[in-house]
Structure 1
Amino acid sequence: MIRPTLACLVLCVIFGSSKPTEKKSRVHEEEALSNLEHDDKKSFDYDHEAFLGHDEAQTFDQLTPEESRRRLSIIVDKIDNNNDGFVSEEELKLWIKVVQRKHVYDSVQRQWSDFDTDSNGLISWDEYKNVTYGSYLEDPPLESQYNYSRMMWRDERRFRAADTNSDMLANKEEFTAFLHPEDHDHMKDIVVQETIEDIDKNGDSLIDLQEYIGDMYNPEGGEEPDWVATERQQFFEFRDKNHDGKMDKEETMDWILPSDYDHVEAEAKHLLLQSDANQDGRLSKQEILDSHEVFVGSQATDFGEVLLRHDEF
């Protein structure tokens, strides 16, 4: 069975306050915190996914406000590592990282048995290729919206980058790097390369302003949104550092994987700012419960499933 989702790219919007607007990270699988827009004026869905994880944030949709508060109270006790009755920014950061790691672990576990077809504890490139592209290889379609040959070539290139001992056999760690390259330093060049390839339309291996905007906005008539003008300004002031009108690999790296930006820390600060009613720099359980819609909401998140599996944390 062909799995085009494994070769698709996801646009992630990461919250930022004092830096060039939003950091966008295009990756092979899921986003670091959430692939939703971080706009609290519209909803707190981004915060829900950052706090709980994408999969968990869906079951909570069916909870009443009372039940979501009750379950949130249990989670708060887990976050409060030192049992002092308060949740600090550092404890929030540690919790968000736990949620991230669990998402990555679950993602790998869900797919492992599908690709390890001989059950030897390793996934060879041939196994991955046959499972992902087997039907295409057996009977290539005459017409298709997907360029499967290119997708397969890109996957092999990424597989080789993740395969640190070059034996074309991926263990769990290597397969994790393949599925989630943004979390591994030795995979960052591949993430940047794939980003440029997907945005670059004229084939010069660079990203110009038109390509940069076109990746985020397709005009469909009517008045252009204000944020598009803001992004143009961002391109000239922050993205194109050498002012040659285009973003090269180094500039693209700074855009999608900035070394001076910690999205977990930014989200923890954001949650604290939104909920710290007495502005003492920490959150009581009551403050979190009073702001439950920021953390888990009700009828809007998947937090219920987290509680059902809380021992896994």
Structure 2
Amino acid sequence: MKLLRSLASICLLAAAALSVPTQEKRVHHQADLSDRAHDDSHGFQYDHEAFLGKEEAKTFDQLTPEESKDKLAMIVDRIDADKDGYISHTELHHWIKHRQRRYIEENVNKHWKDYDKNQDGKIGWEEYKNTTYGFYLGEEFDDVEDKATYRSMLTRDERRFKTADRDGDGIATREEFTAFLHPEEFDYMKDLVVQETVEDIDTNGDGKININEYIGDMFSPESGEKEPDWVQTERKHFHEFRDTNKDGYLDNAEVAHWVLPGEVDHADNEAKHLIHETDTDKDQKITKKEILANWNIFVGSQVTNYGEDLTKRHDEL
């Protein structure tokens, strides 16, 4: 389990400038199916976002159980590509991957219109830099309280932008801008993903991650707070699985193995999990009836008591 998947957003640019997309979330392995931790015993929120996508999940959080079931039935019809009345693992896997891709596309589209100021279908580094930092750049961040943080953010953004800009022309196409915002999705960006991860966790600046830095990135106890069991499990994972050469640190290669697990397909695992949880007759495929009987696994959210605590709202799929 990983309690903290993202860095705190640095909200210093205020209303005068846009927040920095690359600072919104540290990149860890693939684009996650959900921001929630996946716990099979209490995994409704993870399944909720993995199946619907993060934005669609917010819509379902506003619905009553009856409305959720009606919309879920419509989605099931779309997942059943061969219209045989069953949802196979392949169909469910394809659907979850589709939701992942759509989330990325929507995220890129949202930022694209903010940065492509001249609407030429490209985003230059200067265009991005001036839109993001322009309010303060003239004085080299002299009016900003935390100058070092801003300069570090600008340097990091420029490095990531130039890495994503494969042809080195200083201008990002839509694909290159997607690599800039979601480097975990592109093979040629993976060294950068590892580098950024090390930089974020390596608090003493020695270029590697020790056990205290590893745990500290996930869990910061309040005064007198007892360390929960999952943290003890993570300590064990660090020593037994992460630190493969047993030198007490994670180097770049070990971090790559951790955050870029290669052939692990989270969408595939989630599809298997959902079928296992809802396939009552154990025929390795699920019907609309089985899905609707377990509707809370697919669309329920514990935060909203599975929709019952919120007012009704009708949105289009």
Band of TM-score, shorter chain: 0.7 to 0.9
Aligned pair in 2 of structure 1 residues 135, 297: CA closer, same or farther (>3 Å)?
Answer: same
Aligned residue for 1:62, secondary structure, equals coil
Using the alignment, how far apart are the partners of 2:92 and 2:162 within structure 1? 36
1:86-120 Cα offsets, whole Å, 9 max, x none, are: 10111111001111111111111111121111111
Q: What's the offset of the Cα at 1:154?
A: 0.4
Alpha-carbon separation, structure 1, partners of 2:50 and 2:42: 16
Unaligned runs of 5+ in 2: 1-15
Cα deviation, residue 144, structure 1:
3.0
| Contact 1:52/1:306 (8 A) holds in 2 | no
Instruction: Determine the C-alpha separation between the residues in 2 that align with 1:197 and 1:34.
Output: 24
Contact 1:10 1:35 in 2 (8 A): no
Q: How far off is 1:42 after superposition? A: 3.8
SS, match of residue 218 in structure 1 = coil
With normalisation by structure 2, the TM-score equals 0.87
Aligned match of 1:20: none
Deviations 1:118-150 (A, max 9, x none): 111110000000111111213523413871111
| Residues 129 and 142 of structure 1: CA distance in aligned 2, closer, same or farther (over 3 Å) | closer
Report the counterpart of residue 235 of structure 1 in structure 2: 238
Cα shift at 1:307: 6.8
Partner of 2:32: 32
**1:290 to 2:290 alignment:** no
Q: Which residue of 246, 252, 267 maps to 1:249?
A: 252
Question: Which consecutive unaligned segments of at least 5 residues does structure 1 have?
Answer: 12-24
Could you say which residue in structure 1 is the equivalent of 2:199?
197
Amino acid at match of 1:184: F
- Deviation of the 1:174 alpha carbon: 0.4
Deviations for 1:179-204, whole angstroms, at most 9, x for unmatched residues?
A: 11111111111111000000001111
Q: How far apart, in 1, do the equivalents of 2:244 and 2:196 lie?
A: 21
CA contact (8 A) 1:71 1:307 kept: no
* Corresponding position of 1:18: none
Stretch of structure 1 that moved more, 1-10 or 62-71: 1-10
What amino acid is aligned across from residue 155 of structure 2 in structure 1?
Answer: W
RMSD: 2.3
Residue 70 in 1 paired to residue 73 in 2?
Answer: no
How many residues are treated as equivalent by the alignment? 293
What CA distance in whole angstroms lies between the structure 1 residues aligned with 2:314 and 2:252? 39
2:313, 2:256 → 1: CA distance? 36
1 CA distance for matches of 2:219 and 2:71? Answer: 39
The answer to whether the 8 Å contact 1:136/1:148 transfers is no
Letter in 1 for 2:219: Y
Q: Does 1:129 align with 2:129?
A: yes
Give the match for residue 19 of structure 1. Answer: none
One-letter code aligned to 1:289: L
Query: How do residues 1-313 of structure 1 correspond to structure 2 at under 5 angstroms?
Result: 1-8=16-23, 10=25, 26=28, 31-139=31-139, 140=141, 141-144=143-146, 147-220=149-222, 221-297=224-300, 299=304, 300=306, 308-309=316-317
1:53 Cα deviation (Å)? 0.8
**In the alignment, is the contact (CA less than 8 A) between 2:59 and 2:315 conserved in 1?**
no
Task: Write the distance in 2 (CA, Å) between the matches of 1:80 and 1:92.
Answer: 8
- Distance in 1, Cα, partners of 2:22 & 2:221: 26
The structure-2 alpha-carbon separation of the partners of 1:306 and 1:107, relative to structure 1 and needing over 3 Å to count, comes to farther
Offset at residue 26 of structure 1 (A): 2.8
Residue identity opposite 2:23 in structure 1: C
For residues 253 and 290 of structure 2, the distance between their equivalents in structure 1, rounded to whole angstroms, comes to 43
CA deviations on 1:245-285 (whole Å, 9 max, x unpaired) are 11111110110110131111111111111111111111011
Is the CA contact (8 Å cut-off) linking 2:183 and 2:189 kept in structure 1? Answer: yes
Distance between the aligned counterparts of 1:42 and 1:61, measured in 2?
17
CA distance in 2, matches of 1:97, 1:307: 23
Quote the Cα distance in structure 2 between the aligned partners of 1:125 and 1:266: 38
CA distance in 1, matches of 2:99, 2:118: 31
Taking structure 1 as the reference length, what is the TM-score of the superposition? 0.88
Q: What secondary structure, in the 3-state scheme, does the structure 1 residue paired with 2:28 have?
A: strand
1:305, 1:166 → 2: CA distance?
47
Q: 1:115 to 1:306 in 2, by over 3 A?
A: farther
